[in-house]
Amino acid sequence: MSPRGPEEGRLTRRGFLTAVGRGGALMAVGAAGGALALRAAGGETVWQIDPFKCTQCRRCQTECVLDPSAVKCVHDFSMCGYCRFCFGFFLTDPVALDEGAENQACPTGAIQRTFVEDPYYQYTIDRELCIGCAECVKGCNQFGNGSLYMQVLHDRCLNCSECAIAAACPADAFVRLPAERPYFIKHQGPGQLPGAYQMG
């Protein structure tokens, strides 16, 4: 449809608005394509926590500009022993081996414990309840196999250019990763992302 009106030499209001709308749509598609191309080219980076440097200092919970924090516990199931007595779930000196809140390491009850078969249990993280305190990660690393670890969730993170948690992290565990590979997968071991950019 031409933006010209019934009289060939005249531009109508409707024709003008249609042409502007089409041009705007084409520009938006071009901008989105450019952003995707930049991301695919590895030009964009995001914040992440190196789980091999993290000391579970609790600053992910207290320093993030979001409340609750964009940092959450994740579980690498391939490393998990599915233990009946998991130190990521239970306190190190529980009153009893049941799911009572007084026995759990997580202050918000974000870890769900499900019986599989004797003596195995599966542990999953409710990310809506997780506040990023790392209490479960501390227990899992000290007494277990380290299958629980902290990660920045990018559907929540604002990717601030000056991350408040990164500035406060005593272990320099915050690094910049390529946006197309924004997560560490712990069972792959340290140094799995050689292109990671160290903070600073």
* Model pLDDT for residues 119-142, shown as the tens digit of each residue: 999 999 999 999 999 999 999 999
With a cut of 70, say whether residue 2 has pLDDT above it: no
24: Cβ–Cβ under 8 A, 6 or more apart, which residues? Answer: none
Please give the order of strands across the beta sheet that includes 45-49: 45-49, 174-178, 197-198
Looking at mean pLDDT, say which of 27-31, 93-97, 157-161 comes out highest.
Answer: 157-161
Q: Which of the pair, 21 or 165, is modelled with greater confidence?
A: 165
CB atoms within 10 A of CB 122: 14
Strands (E), 21-147: 45-49, 71-75, 111-117, 120-125
The confidence score (pLDDT) of residue 18 equals 56
pLDDT tops 80 at residue 7: no
Q: Which residue has the higher pLDDT, 191 or 68?
A: 68
Residue 42 has pLDDT above 60, yes or no: no
Backbone phi, psi, residue 95, to 5° = -70, -40
Query: In angstroms, how far is the first alpha carbon of the chain from the final one?
Result: 55
Question: For residues 80 and 145, is the Cβ–Cβ distance under 8 A?
Answer: yes
pLDDT above 70 as % of the chain: 74
